[in-house]
Each structure stands twice: as C-alpha cells, then as structure tokens.
C-alpha cells in the first residue's frame, strides 16, 4: 500500500493570535487541489487554535489542525491543563505527544506519554508520537535500542487498528533547532527500524499503514533527500514552519 505523506508544522511557543491567523491564511491561500497527494498539518499554540480553525474552516482548507500537547484526563481539577475533549471540540484532528522539549523541559515520562496516546485515541484524535535519542546515546551507538524501548513504552497496551490511529515522528534531539540534521541514511535506518518494531508490536499490515516522519532541522534544502527514503513518510517541521515561504517548499518535496 502507498502511504500518503504528512508534513506537519510544530509552531511551538510562537505566534500571537493575529500572527497565527495571518500564517494560516497564507498557507490556506497556497494549498489548492495540486496538494491533494499530501496531508498538511499545522500545530499552533493552544491560544491560537480557535482562530486558526476558523480561518481554515472559512477557506474550506485541506490543511488540518493539531495541538502540541494534551492532558490525559477528560476534565477536573488539573489547573493549567487541556483535555482531549476540548481539543476535539475546537477542531484538532492530531496532537503531538512526547516531543523532546516536553520530555526534557517538563519532565514528561514514557508512562505519561503512554496515557496521552490512549486518551487521544479514545477521542478520535491521531497522536503524533515523537521519539528520538540524545547526542550522547547516539555516540554510544545505542540509538536504535533506545528508540525501540521508547516506542514500546509509549505504545504499551495502546491498540492501533488503522492508519489514523497513530503517526510516529523520529526526532533526534541533537538535530532539533540546531541546524544539524541527521543524514538521510541515519534517518532511514531509524525509521525502518520503527516500522519493524510496529510490525512486531501490532502487525506487518499496520506497520505498512502507519506514517513515520522525520523531524530535526528539516528545510527546503534537505527535505527532498528525506522524501526519497522508503520509510520516511513526511516531516515534522519546527523553525521552518513559521514562515509560509519556508514551509511550502518543504511540503512541495513530499507531494
């Protein structure tokens, strides 16, 4: 089967509501029927979700919207948190989980992420699960084993029955926001192994359907190299997703 590529923009903690609306408008204006072969996703901060959704919906845009984080309970006394019910209602069809910035800066564990994956799946939101190794782990030549363990821990007990139940993003921590990308060979090695792991955890059929993205300093200059790798089905883009002129050329490499 052929997997439809997915190019996702992780806006992180950038863009006021006015700026986010402006960027959503610019992207929506450019994404016409010529982009039918690729799924495009933007993940703005929580405070921008409503206005980005309204902008994309008004334009009947093909661009999907996702969040950058979620809490796994449905409601209750969890000051400062946002539930999957709220994300669903506001128009999110995806949510990033397990980003290394959340793991590193906010102490999220594989167990927390496992609960988040389950909560999202049970509300029909596709989890975009990030895994990736530190520079130290790569230098110790333990990257593949580390990523397998991380993937298994985050997915343990979480069923995946269809392509939309899960997207995995391989994001080596040393490549995020640094300008140092993994080589296409390094990225393909890991993404190929993630697919094998998914075949073992679920089934070869499911592994063939689930999209695996690469993320970490992807830009218009290197995206085509990743797009050519057999197990890389798109990108998770940080810095270059904040400017339509930088994001769209990356999308073009995958369509």
The answer to whether 36 touches 60, Cβ cutoff 8 Å, is: no
How far is C-alpha 52 from the geometric centre of its chain's CA atoms?
Answer: 18
Q: Is 11 or 202 the residue whose CB approaches ligand PGA more closely?
A: 11
Distance in Å, CB of 1 to ligand PGA, minimum = 26
> Of 195, 192, 197, 187, whose CA–CA distance to 138 is shortest?
187
Residue whose pair of structure tokens reads 């904040």 in the numeric block: 242
Q: Is 45 or 239 the residue whose CB approaches ligand PGA more closely?
A: 239
> Of 218, 225, 222, whose CA–CA distance to 240 is shortest?
218
Active-site residue 99, yes or no?
Answer: yes
The catalytically annotated residue of 123, 171, 196, 208 is: 171
Contact residues for ligand PGA, defined by CB under 6 A:
10, 171, 176-177, 215-218, 236-240
Which residues, 6+ apart, have CB-to-CB distance to 252 below 8 Å?
Answer: none
Q: Is 206 or 251 the residue whose CB approaches ligand PGA more closely?
A: 251
Helices (H), the chain: 17-30, 49-58, 84-90, 100-106, 110-122, 135-139, 143-155, 184-201, 204-209, 223-227, 244-254
Phi, psi at 213, each rounded to 5°: -105, 160
Distance in Å, CB of 7 to ligand PGA, minimum = 12
Active-site residue 115, yes or no?
Answer: no
Q: Is 9 or 84 the residue whose CB approaches ligand PGA more closely?
A: 9
Q: Is 65 or 237 the residue whose CB approaches ligand PGA more closely?
A: 237
CA distance 152 to 68: 21
Residue whose pair of structure tokens reads 């959503």 in the numeric block: 24
The answer to whether 93 touches 126, Cβ cutoff 8 Å, is: yes
Distance in Å, CB of 216 to ligand PGA, minimum = 5
Distance in Å, CB of 77 to ligand PGA, minimum = 31
CA distance 119 to 115: 6
CA distance 49 to 119: 19
Distance in Å, CB of 211 to ligand PGA, minimum = 15
The catalytically annotated residue of 99, 108, 123, 150 is: 99
The residues assigned a catalytic role are 99, 171
């Amino acid at each position: 089967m052929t997997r439809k590529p997915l190019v996702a923009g992780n806006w992180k903690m950038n863009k006021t509501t006015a700026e986010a609306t402006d960027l959503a408008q610019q992207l929506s204006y450019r994404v016409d029927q010529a982009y039918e072969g690729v799924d495009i996703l933007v993940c703005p901060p929580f405070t921008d979700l409503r206005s980005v959704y309204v902008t994309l919906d008004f334009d009947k845009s093909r661009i999907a919207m996702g969040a950058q984080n979620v809490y796994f309970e449905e409601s209750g006394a969890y000051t400062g948190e946002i539930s999957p019910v709220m994300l669903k209602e506001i128009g999110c069809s995806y949510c990033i989980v397990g980003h290394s910035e959340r793991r590193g800066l906010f102490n999220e564990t594989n167990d927390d992420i496992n609960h988040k994956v389950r909560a999202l799946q049970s509300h029909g939101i596709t989890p975009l699960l990030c895994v990736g190794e530190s520079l130290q782990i790569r230098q110790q030549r333990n990257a593949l084993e580390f990523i397998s363990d991380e993937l298994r821990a985050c997915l343990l007990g979480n069923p995946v029955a269809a392509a939309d139940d899960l997207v995995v993003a391989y994001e080596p921590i040393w490549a995020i926001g640094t300008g140092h990308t993994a080589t296409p060979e390094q990225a393909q090695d890991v993404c190929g192994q993630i697919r094998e792991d998914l075949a073992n955890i679920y089934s070869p059929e499911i592994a063939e359907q689930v999209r695996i993205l690469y993320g970490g300093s992807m830009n218009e200059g290197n995206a085509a190299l990743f797009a050519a790798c057999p197990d890389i089905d798109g990108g998770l883009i940080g810095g270059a997703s904040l400017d339509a002129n930088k994001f769209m050329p990356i999308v073009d490499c995958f369509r």
